[in-house]
Amino acid sequence: MELDLDEIIKAIANPCRRQMLAWLKDPANNFDLSHPAHPECEGVCVGKIVQKTGLSQSTVSAYMDVLQRAGLVKSERRGQWTFYKRNEETIAAFLETIGAKL
């Protein structure tokens, strides 16, 4: 796996995006995970993230897109809904790489 350290660092430079990643680390304690249309989906519906942050849907979607491009989250699209979860493999590789380089 090739990490783009600059892209990851840029993504987590924003405190709100860091907070979203922190919430996604323990989604069951940070979000109501029920979703009437897709109860089988893993991850958190973007609407739940919007509710928790108080930000607009477009801002949350843009933030999640940055995190996804950096490889820090994965998304699953179901109809009009998008569900997000952390990409633990990338996060672990990033932490290991940073620890080794700094």
pLDDT at 81: 87
**What domains can you pick out in the chain, each with its CATH number?**
5-101 (1.10.10.10)
pLDDT of residue 65 exceeding 90, the answer is yes
In sequence order, the 6+-apart residues with CB closer than 8 A to the CB of 55 are 16, 63
Give yes or no for a contact between 10 and 99, defined as CB atoms under 8 angstroms apart.
Answer: no
- For residue 1, pLDDT beyond 70: no
The predicted-structure confidence for 20-63, as pLDDT tens digits, reads as follows: 999 999 998 999 888 776 677 788 999 999 999 999 999 999 99
